[in-house]
Structure 1
Amino acid sequence: MDILTEILEQEDVLVLEDTTDMRELVVYNDDVNTFEHVINTLVQVCRHTQEQAEQCTMLIHYKGKCTVKLGTFTELETMCTAIHDRGISADIL
């Protein structure tokens, strides 16, 4: 095995390790929270634009859930807690 092949294989492994740790922050629909509350939460907690938050909120309402953010567990944990603190159901998958 030449050095170039070895380097490329190592890079493939590093890329695979980086991408396999990605998780989804999923928000679920309920009959309690208003559209406005969910939109404001997504803007404040997930740093969505107003348009992104509105689109996610519509998906949450009509599909029952929506992935609102991708990241590592560590990155999403604080956001998930903040969403829970606002009375909205969410999980990291």
Structure 2
Amino acid sequence: MLFKRYANPMIILEQMIRTQRFSEFINEFVRIQNEELEDRTQWEFWLHRVFDKSWAQFLEAVEGNSSGVEKMPTQDELEHTVMESKKIFSDFCLS
């Protein structure tokens, strides 16, 4: 990947090693590559699979879901789910 971005990556690698920033450079390079891959994948997915939203709407929906924080269910929601599950299980009949 370095050769795609830099004509001669050995010069920049040597400089990063000399200044003791090689690890930082590699970490940043990998982060940028991952972001570009994610952006490209999202674009391809939207282009070929999503027909009912604009690009901005799609990004808003994706970024809203990727916050990583899910809302914990309330006690009432948990009880309701358990009761519904019990009802389904009690109504189940093999014959």
**TM, length-normalised to structure 1:** 0.29
Greater length-normalized contact order (CA 8 Å, ≥ 6 residues apart):
1
Q: Normalising by structure 2, what TM-score?
A: 0.28
Larger Rg: 2
